[in-house]
Structure 1
């Protein structure tokens, strides 16, 4: 009897697989460290400004983590554009596959992810150069003593 219970218990453990999937609150794109919610509102061709970027990464469907210019709706390579007369701080246009543009509205700053250091190292490079410059000044000052 104990063997049967043990076998049944092991079968339940081995066959009971859990499925995990993330449900997104809204479709989004990330550009320049900002999260924009993609709306259904179309942007007319005459309002489309210059190209400002594109989707480069996809978020992790299990954890929700993302970095860089990401989107949970659009494939890699989907382009972002300015909308004439509107600041990119509030709204951008996203090119759909059908050759139409949809409006994406600013929601929040994107959360920090360590991969952002690799995708946008410029601010950190400046910080490193400043630290090196201060270190060289201190070494020069100490060598004069």
Structure 2
């Protein structure tokens, strides 16, 4: 497996994430990340499944693009917990950031906002094809 250029953090709009120039030094951790002891990230290939399994009820998401080279030393590639969302076949191992919860302006390259339309994330994913790096 070759390393990706970017990994991504999906953040629901209920968690305030300012525009890229105004990012704080450290973002607050989600309840899931706090309970897990690491920050859950996704590759571009994994984003559609993550949206479907964990963010289906949200209408707006922030998507943070993180340069992999900046966090590579703190990434552990792991299989998803199938008890939470079932098997996620074909998506490979997931990047988990294990650096004590440090994710902020030093790691995040850019932020986009996606909106769910007609009960689906498909349109947002299609519109983001140029921004998502596979």
Q: Shared fold (TM-score greater than 0.5)? A: no
Normalization by structure 1: what TM-score? 0.24
Rg: which structure is higher?
A: 1
State the structure with bigger RCO (CA 8 A, min sep 6), 1 or 2.
2
Structure with the higher helix share, 1 or 2: 1
